[in-house]
Structure 1
Amino acid sequence: MPPDASTGPALGQRLDEARGRAGYNMRRLAEVTGIPMTSIHRLIKGEIAEPSPTTLVRLAEALDLSPSELFTLAGLPYPDLDDLLRNQYGLPEEAITEIHAIIAEHANKER
C-alpha cells in the first residue's frame, strides 16, 4: 500500500529516525510502547491514514519526541488539556475540574 497523503513519509521518516537514534528495533519499540509491531511498521511506512492520539503520545514518550510534532506530522490537531487528562491519564471529570482550579489559582498568583 502506498503512503497515505495525510501522514505521508514525513511522520514515518521521523519515527524511523528517532527509533534508530534510540537504539530500538521494531520489536523492542513495540514492547516499550505496548503498540503492536505491525502497527508501528505501518505507521513508519505511511500506511495508516489517521493514527490514534494515544499511539502518537506513546511513541513520542518512548522516542523522546514532542507529541505536538507527531500530531502535526500526522495532520491531527493536538488534543486540548481536558482531552489529554481524560484520555491519556484516565482522569474523571471532577479531577479535571480540580486541575483547572489549581491552574487558575497559580495563574492569578503570577499576575
Structure 2
Amino acid sequence: MEKIRDVNIYKMLSDEIRLHIMKLLSEKDMPVSDIVNALNIEQPLISHKLKELRENGMTISRKSGKNIIYSISDTLLEDVLRVTENAGNKLDLACNCVECDNNDK
C-alpha cells in the first residue's frame, strides 16, 4: 500500500496546476475562490484538481460559512520526506562510485 501512496504523491505533484495549488496552500489556507483568483484558472478545473489532491490525502478541507477552506494535509510533509528518502535509497543501490560498497568492482 505504501508503494501506491508513493506513486500517487509523484503523480499529484507532476501536474502543473496541482503543483501551483500546493505552493499556494503551503503559504496559507485558502478558499477555492482565492485559489481561482490567484491562478486565474476557471473554478471547475480548480475544484477538480482540489478534489484529486484531497482524495489522495494531500489536502484537507473544512467548511467556513459558504466557503470551503483548503489546507495542506498534516501528514503530507512526512509522506514527501519518506518518498524522497526511499528514492534516495534506491539511487544509492545503483551507485558506482569508488567509495560505495554497493558496486560490483
Shorter-chain TM-score range? under 0.3
Q: TM-score with structure 2 length normalisation?
A: 0.28
Query: By percentage of residues, which structure has more helix?
Result: 1
Q: TM-score with structure 1 length normalisation?
A: 0.27
Name which structure has the greater RCO, CA cutoff 8 Å, separation 6+: 1
